[in-house]
């Protein structure tokens, strides 16, 4: 009797329900013409899934790759039945694997040397914070923890460039031009201690969020994640204002072209090397990298980092409304109600690196210089053309071309360059 109860108890296991359902699925696939052949599986499901995935925003190459990989794994479904039985007996949770699969294309990229979101283009403008909250609502602990770590990484990556790179070179340029060593001492606290303080605050909120997620305290986890975002957002906004003020002083003291000279060292030391690797990426990887950086600037009406990505055929367009840096500085913070940053630091003479316009805030010129003008000197075309609008309430637009050699002529003309003949011929009007 005891043995019979033991056998019955061993079979009374919810995970084992997967076994008969796998057998049923196999019968249905056999009846439907899908076999254990990977080629047959691709033929059967590819014609249905690939067109739908392309319409949803996947590139054709990525859609084919996903279907091919899934079909190759399909033949492994029946042999995994013993694995389910083993997990059941050893009290192994399948939930972690399911949670990892639920994370939105968060993968380790060999090219980038780290994790990155490789969502379909239309989903890249969704804030990572929103994905964390959705995972928490679904009870997917591992997924929420993975996305939390990635959200922290997004900010760390941007802050490293802003604080250790760009801002540092601007301060060095400022000190060299004024030739006053006393300024270095006066700038030590705002140049170092303030940023480290906000970073520690963000790190504390990150630790609180991680603990709350692990313990299932959903409401507290959401508050801690939001606290981490607000600390990073505040740091971001202060850097923007300080860069604007540094450039304003340089332009006032040494002339407007001094701003471009001050911006040059950061390009030489940071962006030039990055752009060598940039040209080896696919358009979808370039888009994913661009979106990652802009999510970490926390733009959009909620300041969580939301924006819209559209596939326009020959290019991807990112619409920031507002962008989390120059856009918020010009328009104000829609989350806190903070008004636009008071500054008179704008150009009075049109220049190629101000898109031929006047009254462009000095901070905003870095988009032209780093994404277009300086890059065009090295590569022959702007790497990420910008649609700058003088109306602060209009969206800012970035473009990533699928074939950069087909960049539309207006982007060359906007920065004072003549479009190469191969670029102007046959491109769509826009």
**DSSP string across 311-372:** E-SSEEEEEETT-TTHHHHHH--TTT-PPPPP---B-SS--GGGTT-SS-BGGGHHHHIIII
Token pair belonging to 360: 């462009």
How far apart are the C-alpha atoms of 392 and 341, rounded to whole Å?
A: 12
The phi, psi pair for 397, rounded to 5°, reads: -125, 135
Model pLDDT for residues 203-255, shown as the tens digit of each residue? 999 999 999 999 999 999 999 999 999 999 999 999 999 999 999 999 999 99
More confident residue, 82 or 334: 334
Arithmetic mean of pLDDT over the chain? 84
- Taking Cα atoms as reference points, which of 376, 174, 372 lies closest to residue 265? 174
Would you list the domain boundaries of the chain? 135-424
pLDDT tens-digit series, residues 381-427: 999 999 999 999 999 999 999 999 999 999 999 999 999 986 444 44
125, 308 contact by CB (below 8 A) = yes
Query: Which of the two residues, 161 and 63, has the higher pLDDT score?
Result: 161
Find out whether 346 and 359 touch, Cβ atoms under 8 Å: yes
Predicted pLDDT of residue 25: 61
**Average pLDDT estimate for 365-372:** 98
pLDDT of residue 19: 61
pTM as predicted: 0.75
pLDDT tens-digit map of 65-81: 777 766 655 555 555 55
Q: pLDDT for 292-349, tens place per residue?
A: 999 999 999 999 999 999 999 999 999 999 999 999 999 999 999 999 999 999 999 9
Residues with Cβ within 8 Å of residue 256, at least 6 apart in sequence: 347, 348, 349, 351
In this predicted structure, which of 8-22, 293-307, 309-323, 362-376 has the lowest mean pLDDT?
A: 8-22
Mean pLDDT of 265-273: 93
pLDDT band at 161 (very low <50, low <70, confident <90, very high): confident
- pLDDT, tens only, 35-55: 556 666 666 677 777 887 776
Task: Give the number of other CB atoms < 10 A from CB of residue 430.
Answer: 11
Across the range 267-293, mean pLDDT stands at 93
């Amino acid at each position: 009797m005891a043995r019979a109860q033991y056998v019955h108890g061993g079979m009374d296991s919810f995970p084992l329900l997967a076994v008969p359902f796998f057998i049923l699925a196999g019968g249905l696939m056999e009846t439907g013409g899908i076999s254990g052949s990977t080629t047959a599986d691709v033929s059967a499901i590819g014609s249905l899934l690939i067109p739908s995935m392309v319409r949803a925003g996947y590139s054709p190459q990525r859609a084919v790759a996903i279907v091919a990989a899934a079909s190759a794994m399909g033949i492994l479904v029946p042999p995994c039945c013993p694995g389910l039985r083993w997990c059941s007996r050893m009290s192994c949770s399948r939930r972690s694997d399911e949670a990892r699969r639920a994370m939105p294309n968060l993968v380790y990229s060999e090219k980038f040397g780290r994790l990155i979101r490789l969502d379909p283009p239309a989903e890249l403008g969704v804030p990572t914070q929103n994905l964390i909250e959705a995972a928490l609502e679904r009870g997917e602990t591992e997924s929420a923890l993975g996305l939390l770590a990635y959200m922290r990484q997004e900010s760390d990556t941007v802050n490293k460039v802003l604080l250790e790179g760009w801002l540092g070179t601007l301060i060095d340029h400022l000190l060299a031009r004024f030739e006053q060593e006393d300024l270095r001492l006066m700038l030590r606290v705002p140049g170092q201690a303030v940023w480290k303080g906000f970073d520690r605050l963000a790190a504390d909120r990150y630790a609180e969020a991680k603990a709350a997620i692990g313990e299932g305290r959903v409401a507290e986890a959401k508050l801690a994640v939001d606290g981490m975002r607000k600390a990073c957002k505040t740091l971001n906004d202060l850097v923007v204002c300080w860069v604007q003020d540094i450039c304003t002083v340089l332009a006032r003291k040494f002339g407007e072209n001094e701003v471009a000279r001050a911006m040059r060292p950061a390009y030489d030391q940071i962006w030039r090397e990055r752009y060598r690797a940039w040209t080896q990426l696919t358009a979808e990887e370039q888009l994913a990298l661009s979106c990652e950086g802009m999510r970490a600037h926390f733009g959009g009406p909620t300041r969580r980092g939301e924006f819209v990505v559209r596939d326009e055929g020959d290019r991807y367009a990112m619409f920031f409304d507002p962008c989390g840096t120059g856009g918020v500085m010009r328009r104000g913070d829609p989350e806190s109600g903070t008004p636009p940053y008071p500054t008179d630091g704008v150009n009075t003479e049109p220049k190629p690196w101000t898109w031929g316009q006047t009254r462009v805030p000095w901070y905003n010129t870095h988009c032209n210089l780093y994404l277009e003008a300086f890059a065009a000197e090295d590569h022959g075309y702007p790497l990420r053309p910008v649609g700058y609008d003088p109306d602060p309430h209009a969206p800012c637009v970035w473009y990533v071309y699928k074939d950069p050699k087909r960049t539309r002529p207006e982007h060359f003309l906007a920065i004072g360059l003549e479009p190469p003949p191969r670029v102007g011929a046959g491109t769509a009007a826009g």
